[in-house]
């Protein structure tokens, strides 16, 4: 108790916290509305975090989890690579949203500061090894998100979305806490590694098992809310539509990585001995999400709302990957299943960045690119960006050369390997339904006449990054092995 | 045995108070029932021999948070009728869902006992010291995160509510010091006024006609 904890594994978090506080003070002296200095500093901070994460976690010879702070914090390959992905997502978000925010007078220091604090919450969540740190990380992340949605305070839609998000989020936090208290009551510990030892003993006893499963139901509900899967999806469409597009991008991208990490920590690291129970729950949630997400998205005319329903269906796919780990009581399929789910989440985040980035690129001062009609005839106005959007839509739909295809294929492969043929067939069917509304956008871009005229005006950095983002989807679709290898190694080292 | 009886009484009061918080017609009454709920919860903590937490709950929540909350509730002119417009319409569904939830939860957990009785501590054992001991050593990391959560709450509250008033007569001393002659003094070039009385008399009617 008297000795100092090992601070080394937590260097990225410590660096991010201190530099964000410094950033906040530096921002006080910002003179122009563009906030050039804060913006550049934020990118430098992210670069520093990436370096530290590489140095502390990824640049080690034997990838074993390192625990510190009385086992409340864990650093392993999965948290390291997910953090790397989160830095990339946040940096990309900053570049994409900059001009949009400046045009609307929303480029305030708070946006950047809250974004960085949200990143801190995600990192805490990814490295959590205790129910307490999971909860605190989640609250930090959620609070930043509520505030970011409400930041556009002159817009009634944003305020309403923030209110809904806040109330439903509080309810979900309550459920998660209730589940945690049950697990704590049954096992007598908060540390996740310790829970997994004790659950192994307790799961054989019927009475204790009932209590554990009872807690598990509420844990799954909390995770499902964070991922936004049916029936805890109510907030997703309203918040995506109501928030300013830049904020939607913040919510839709990196936090999904954190939610995935939370599911892995709680369910796989902590309660693997109850996998039979939670796999059933996840399968039901997955099928419902894929069904509702894909079918409802067809009826949407608002692009942001359509992408929200598409998110719901994609998160269903992720759950399908998580649900295929344990087959007949053995874990042979677990490595494949969890790494394909991780691959899917990373590809999904990359695709979301590109799709919302495109919406931001097409929006100008006073012009929102929100409805399907805004994309009509994009090929005539900007053939290059129409091509990028085509790749993004193909990736979302799962059409072969794009990365989304391989991600879906990997999940389906593990689902079939787990013997869940019915689930796999359902997933394919709903993906087919989903392909309709993605391809409709392609049709609008290429075969309809433009309702708007004028070329696309955007800054060079954004044009380049959107292009790189879109081409990365293509490259990862053709050569997915390297990213897949990273995911496999991360899951193996758990 | 006696402790169990006391616990049951407090538990019943807590449940009743919690129910009244959401069913009381008057928001002030609801806030007062929330105070009662906090009080009873702290009494239950007292039963578990967590004296410091019990006192902290009363001092922080009842003493500070709820008083502020009551002030706000009294200040706001809440239209109770409009607030409760959908209450009776939604009540049957809410009661049904809530009832099923409660029934299912009791069915699962009924008869099973957690058995987490407080251990007897030696005389001179200080609850507060034990809490402080682990709060700043073993749980320093979550403690820091909780601090960051509060910092974010402050930033968010300021970002969402701070507005520059349009009618503010605030002075900016820096701007006042930096002022230069050209900012305040305007030199208007004009022709010299003529002092010839005859010309002036000629001009006057002309000006009037214009």
Between CA A82 and CA A338 the distance in angstroms is 13
Measure CB to CB from residue B140 to each of A69, A108, A146 and give the nearest one: A69
Dihedral sign for Cα B166, B168, B173, B179, please: positive
CA distance A145 to chain B (A): 10
Task: Kindly list the residues from chain B whose CB atom is less than 8 angstroms away from the CB atom of residue A146.
Answer: 156
A133 interaction partners in chain B (CB closer than 8 Å): 141-142, 145
Cβ of residue B22 closer than 8 Å to a chain A Cβ: no
Which one is predicted more confidently, A286 or B137?
A286
Considering the domain architecture, whether residues B6 and B32 belong to the same structural domain is answered as yes
Domain that holds residue A422: 8-492
Residue B119, pLDDT above cutoff 70:
no
The reply to whether B113 touches chain A by the CB within 8 Å rule is no
Residues B128 and B102 in one domain: no
How close A252 gets to chain B, by Cα (Å)?
A: 20
- Beta-carbon pairs below 8 A across chains A and B: 80
A139 touches chain B (CB under 8 A): yes
Quickly state the pLDDT bin for B208 (edges 50, 70, 90).
very low
Please tell me the distance in Å from A232's CA to the nearest CA on chain B.
16
User: Would the pLDDT of B120 be above 80?
Assistant: no
Residues of chain A with Cβ-Cβ distance to B140 below 8 Å are 5, 69
Q: B187 in a domain, yes or no?
A: no
Q: Per the domain annotation, does A155 fall within a domain? A: yes
Tell me, yes or no, whether A1 lies in a domain: no
Same domain, B159 and B134: yes
Q: Check CB contact under 8 Å for A143 and B153.
A: yes
What's the per-residue H, E or C state across chain A? CCCCCCCHHHHHHHHHHHHHHHHHHHHCCCCCCCCHHHHHHHHHHHHHHHHHHHHHHHCCCCCCCEEECCCCEEECHHHHHHHHHHHHHHHHHHHHHHHHHHHCCCCCHHHHHHHHHHHHHHHHHHCECEHHHHHHHHHHHHHHHHHHHHCCCCCHHHHHHHHHHHHHHHHHHHHHHHHHHHHHHHHCCCEHHHHHHHHHHHCCCHHHHHHHHHHHHHHHHHHHHHHCCCCCCCHHHHHHHHCCHHHHHHHHCHHHHHHHHHHHHHHHHHCHHHHHHHHHHHHHHHHHHHHHHHHHHHCCCEHHHHHHHHHHHHHHHHHHHHCCCCECCECCCHHHHHHHHHHHHHHHHHHHHHHHHHHHHHCECCECCCEHHHHCCHHHHCHHHHHHHHHHHHHHHCCCCCHHHHHHHHHHHHHHHCCCHHHHHHHHHHHHHHHHHHHHHHHHHHHCCCCCCCCCCCCHHHHHHHHHHHHHHHHHHHCCHHHHHHHHHHHHCC
Question: A-contacting residues of B 92-111, CB under 8 Å?
Answer: 105, 108-109
A186: nearest CA partner in chain B: B114
Cβ within 8 Å, pair A72-B142: yes
Residue A155, number of CB atoms within 10 A of its CB: 17
Query: CA-to-CA distance for A434 and A427, rounded, in angstroms?
Result: 10
Q: Which residue of B has its CA nearest to A208?
A: B112
- Whether residue A166 lies within 8 A of chain B, CB to CB, comes out as no
What pLDDT does B207 receive? 46
- Chain B touched by A185 (CB under 8 Å): yes
Those residues with Cβ within 8 angstroms of residue A428's Cβ, 6 or more apart along the chain or in another chain: A412
Nearest-CA neighbor of A287 among A433, A410, A174, A165? Answer: A433
Q: Which residues of chain B have a CB within 8 Å of the CB of A139?
A: 149
Distance, in angstroms, between B56 CA and closest chain A CA? 20
A144 touches chain B (CB under 8 A): yes
Domain residues for the domain of B107 are 90-120
Taking CB atoms and an 8 Å cutoff, what residues of chain A touch B137?
1-2, 70
Q: Is residue B172 part of a domain?
A: no
User: Residues of B72-95 as b/e, b for ≥16 C-beta within 10 angstroms?
Assistant: ebeeeeeeeeeeeeeeeeeeeeee
Contact indicator for A99, A115 with CB cutoff of 8 Å: no
Q: Which SS3 state, helix, strand or coil, does residue B103 take? A: helix
Give the pTM: 0.88
> How confident is the model at residue A248, as a pLDDT?
94
d(CA A145, CA A138): 11
Residues contacting B134, CB < 8 A, separation 6+: A1
Query: Nearest by CB to A211, which of B112, B155, B156?
Result: B112
B112 in reach of chain A (CB within 8 A): yes
For residue B179, being part of any structural domain is answered with no
Cα separation, B125 vs B119, whole angstroms: 12
Angle CA A343–A348–A354, to nearest 5: 135
| B131 contact residues in A (CB cutoff 8 A) | none
Whether chain B has a CB inside 8 Å of the CB on A455: the answer is no
Q: Looking at the complex, does the CB of residue B146 fall below 8 Å from at least one CB of chain A?
A: yes
What residues form DSSP beta bridges with A68?
A73
Q: Is the dihedral of CA A361, A366, A371, A374 positive or negative?
A: negative
Give per-residue burial for A85-117: e unless 16+ CB within 10 Å, then b. Answer: bbbbbbbbbbbbbbbbbbebebbbbbbbbbbbb
* A319 is a domain residue: yes
Q: What is the DSSP letter of B61?
A: I
Number of domains in chain A: 1
Q: Do B152 and A117 touch (CB under 8 A)?
A: yes
Instruction: Please answer whether residues A426 and A287 qualify as being in contact, where contact means their C-beta atoms are separated by less than 8 angstroms.
Output: yes
Q: Out of A1, A113, A143, name the one closest to residue B137 (CB).
A: A1
Q: Do B155 and A110 touch (CB under 8 A)?
A: yes
Q: Is B76 in the same domain as B139? A: no
Which 3 state secondary structure label does DSSP give B142? helix
- Coil vs helix vs strand at B81: helix
Quick check: A258 and A121 in contact, CB under 8 A?
yes
List the single residue in A with minimal CA-CA distance to B112: A207
Q: Are residues B63 and B138 in the same domain?
A: no
| Nearest CB partner across the interface for B108, out of A110, A146, A210 | A210
Highest mean pLDDT among A407-421, B58-72, B182-196: A407-421
Chain B residue numbers touching A3 (CB-CB < 8 A): none
The structural domain count of chain B equals: 3
Q: CB of A338 within 8 A of CB of A304? A: no
Residues B114, B127, single domain; the answer is no
Residue A419 lies in a domain: yes
Taking only the tens of pLDDT, chain A with its 494 residues reads 457 888 888 999 999 999 999 999 998 887 777 788 899 999 999 999 999 999 888 777 667 888 888 889 998 899 999 999 999 999 999 999 998 998 888 888 889 999 999 999 999 999 999 999 999 999 999 999 999 999 988 889 999 999 999 999 999 999 999 999 989 988 889 999 999 989 888 877 777 788 888 899 999 999 999 899 988 998 999 999 999 999 999 999 999 999 999 999 999 999 988 888 899 999 999 999 999 999 999 999 899 999 999 999 999 999 999 998 888 778 888 888 999 999 999 999 999 999 999 999 888 767 788 888 888 888 888 889 999 999 999 999 998 889 999 999 999 999 999 888 999 999 999 999 999 999 999 999 999 887 776 677 778 888 899 999 999 999 999 999 999 988 988 888 87
Question: Are the Cβ atoms of B145 and A136 closer than 8 angstroms?
Answer: yes
> How far from B151 is each of A405, B146, B156, B161, CA to CA, in Å?
42, 9, 9, 16
Is A193 domain-assigned?
A: yes
B44 in the same domain as B13: yes
Contact B160 A207 (CB under 8 A): no
Nearest to B40 by CA among B57, B63, B23, B19: B57
Kindly report the length of chain B: 210
CB A414 within 8 A of CB A340: yes
Q: Is A202 on the interface with B (CB under 8 A)?
A: no
Answer whether residue B109 is part of any domain.
yes
ipTM of this model? 0.91
């Amino acid at each position: 108790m008297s000795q100092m904890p090992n601070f080394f594994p937590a260097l990225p978090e410590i660096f991010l916290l201190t530099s964000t506080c410094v950033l906040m003070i530096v921002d006080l002296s910002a003179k122009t509305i563009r906030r050039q200095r804060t913006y550049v500093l934020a990118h430098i901070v992210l670069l520093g975090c990436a370096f530290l994460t590489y140095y502390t976690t990824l640049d080690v010879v034997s990838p074993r989890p390192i625990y510190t702070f009385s086992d409340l914090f864990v650093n392993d390959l999965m948290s390291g690579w997910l953090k790397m992905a989160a830095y990339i997502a946040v940096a990309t978000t900053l570049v994409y949203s900059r001009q949009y925010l400046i045009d609307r007078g929303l480029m305030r220091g708070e946006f950047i500061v809250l974004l960085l604090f949200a990143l801190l919450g995600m990192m805490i969540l990814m490295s959590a090894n205790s129910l307490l740190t999971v909860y605190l990380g989640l609250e930090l992340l959620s609070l930043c998100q509520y505030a970011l949605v409400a930041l556009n305070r002159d817009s009634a839609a944003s305020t309403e979305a923030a209110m809904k998000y806040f109330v439903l989020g509080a309810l979900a936090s309550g459920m998660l806490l209730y589940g945690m208290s049950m697990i704590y009551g049954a096992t007598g510990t908060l540390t996740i590694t310790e829970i997994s030892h004790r659950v192994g003993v307790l799961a054989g006893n019927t009475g204790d098992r009932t209590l554990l499963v009872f807690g598990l139901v509420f844990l799954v509900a909390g995770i499902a809310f964070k991922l936004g899967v049916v029936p805890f999806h109510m907030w997703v469409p309203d918040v995506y539509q109501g928030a300013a597009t830049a904020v939607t991008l913040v919510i839709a991208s990196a936090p999904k990585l954190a939610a995935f990490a939370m599911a892995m920590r709680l369910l796989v690291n902590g309660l693997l001995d109850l996998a039979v129970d939670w796999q059933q729950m996840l399968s039901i949630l997955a099928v419902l999400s894929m069904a509702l997400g894909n079918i409802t998205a067809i009826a949407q005319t608002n692009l942001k709302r359509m992408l929200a329903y598409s998110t719901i269906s994609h998160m269903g796919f992720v759950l399908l990957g998580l649900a295929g780990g344990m087959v007949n009581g053995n874990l042979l399929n677990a490595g494949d299943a969890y790494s394909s789910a991780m691959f899917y989440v990373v590809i999904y985040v990359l695709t979301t960045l590109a799709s919302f980035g495109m919406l931001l690129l097409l929006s100008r001062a006073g012009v929102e690119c929100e409805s399907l009609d805004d994309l009509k005839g994009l090929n005539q106005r900007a053939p290059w960006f129409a091509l990028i959007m085509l790749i993004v839509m193909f990736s979302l739909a799962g059409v072969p050369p794009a990365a989304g295809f391989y991600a879906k294929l990997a999940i389906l492969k593990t689902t079939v390997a787990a013997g869940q043929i019915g689930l796999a067939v359902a997933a394919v069917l709903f993906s087919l339904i989903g392909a309709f509304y993605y391809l409709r956008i392609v049709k609008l871009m290429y075969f309809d006449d433009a309702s708007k005229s004028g070329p696309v005006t955007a800054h060079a950095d954004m044009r380049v990054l959107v292009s790189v983002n879109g081409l990365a989807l293509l490259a990862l679709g053709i050569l997915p092995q390297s990213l897949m290898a990273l995911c496999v190694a991360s899951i193996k080292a758990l | 045995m006696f402790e169990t009886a006391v616990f049951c009484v407090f538990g019943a009061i807590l449940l009743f108070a919690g129910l009244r918080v959401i069913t009381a017609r008057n928001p002030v009454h609801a806030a007062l029932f929330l105070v009662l709920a906090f009080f009873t919860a702290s009494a239950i903590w007292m039963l578990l021999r967590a004296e410091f937490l019990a006192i902290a709950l009363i001092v922080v929540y009842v003493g500070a948070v709820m008083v502020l909350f009551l002030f706000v509730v009294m200040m706001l002119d809440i239209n109770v009728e409009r607030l409760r417009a959908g209450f009776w319409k939604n009540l049957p569904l809410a009661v049904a869902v809530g009832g099923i939830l409660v029934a299912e939860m009791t069915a699962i957990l009924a008869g099973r006992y957690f058995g987490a009785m407080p251990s007897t501590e030696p005389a001179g054992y200080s609850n507060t010291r034990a809490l402080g001991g682990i709060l700043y050593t073993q749980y320093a990391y979550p403690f820091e995160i909780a601090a960051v959560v509060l910092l974010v709450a402050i930033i968010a509250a300021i970002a969402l509510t701070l507005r520059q008033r349009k009618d503010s007569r605030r002075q900016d001393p820096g701007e006042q010091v930096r002022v230069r002659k050209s900012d305040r003094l305007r030199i208007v070039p004009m022709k010299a006024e003529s002092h010839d009385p005859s010309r002036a008399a000629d001009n006057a009617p002309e000006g009037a006609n214009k």
